[in-house]
Amino acid sequence: MLNTTVSEEIRIANDLLKNRILDYWRAHPETESAPLAVPNLAYHVFEHPVSDLNCFYTLSTGLILQGRKRVNVDGKRWEYGRCTWMSTATDTPSSYEIFDASPERPHVACMLKLDPLLIADLVQNQPEIIECHGKQDFGHTSRIFSVSTATLDVIDSFSRLFRLLDTPEQISARAPLIERELTYLLLMSSQGAGLTHFFTQNSTANRINKTINWIRHNTGKPFDINALAEMAHMTRSTYYRHFKTITKLSPLQYHKRQCLYQAQRLMLTKGYSATQAAFEVGYASPNQFSREYKRAFGMPPRQFVSELVKQSATA
Query: How do the pLDDT tens digits run along the chain, 315 residues long?
Result: 555 578 999 999 999 999 999 999 999 877 666 789 999 999 999 999 988 777 888 899 999 999 999 998 877 889 999 999 999 998 888 889 998 899 999 999 999 999 999 999 999 899 999 888 875 544 444 678 999 999 999 999 999 999 999 999 999 999 999 999 999 999 999 999 888 988 888 888 889 999 998 998 888 888 999 999 999 999 999 999 999 888 888 999 999 988 998 898 888 888 889 999 999 998 989 999 999 888 887 788 888 777 766 655 544
CA distance 285 to 279: 8
Alpha helical stretches, state H, the chain: 8-27, 116-125, 127-133, 152-163, 171-188, 192-198, 204-217, 225-231, 236-247, 251-269, 274-280, 286-297, 301-314
Tens digit of each residue's pLDDT (9 = 90 or more) over 32-73: 667 899 999 999 999 999 887 778 888 999 999 999 999 988
Burial zone of 60 (CB within 10 Å; 0-12 exposed, 13-18 middle, 19+ buried): middle
Longest dimension (CA), the chain: 57
pTM of the predicted model as reported, rounded to 2 decimal places: 0.83
Handedness of CA 101, 58, 256, 305 (dihedral sign): positive
Last residue of a domain, one of 198, 231, 249: 198
Please give the DSSP secondary-structure letter assigned to residue 220: T
Q: Is residue 3 part of a domain?
A: no
The helix (run of H) or strand (run of E) holding residue 88 is strand 84-88
> Do both 105 and 158 map to the same domain?
yes
The CA distances from residue 193 to 109, 144, 173, in Å, are 23, 10, 29
Last residue of a domain, one of 148, 183, 198: 198
Give the number of domains in the chain: 2
> Do both 179 and 217 map to the same domain?
no
Owning domain of residue 110: 8-198
Tens digit of each residue's pLDDT (9 = 90 or more) over 160-197: 999 999 999 999 999 999 999 999 999 999 999 888 98
Contacts of 286 by beta carbon, 8 Å cutoff, 6+ apart: 274, 275, 278, 279
Collapsing DSSP to helix, strand or coil, 66 comes out as: strand
> Do both 72 and 171 map to the same domain?
yes
> Do both 181 and 33 map to the same domain?
yes
> Do both 25 and 90 map to the same domain?
yes
Q: Is residue 17 part of a domain?
A: yes
Q: Is residue 1 part of a domain?
A: no
Please give the DSSP secondary-structure letter assigned to residue 137: -
Collapsing DSSP to helix, strand or coil, 84 comes out as: strand
Q: At what angle do helices 286-297 and 251-269 cross, to 10 degrees?
A: 100
CATH number at residue 239: 1.10.10.60
Last residue of a domain, one of 198, 213, 237: 198
> Do both 191 and 271 map to the same domain?
no
> Do both 144 and 215 map to the same domain?
no
> Do both 26 and 55 map to the same domain?
yes
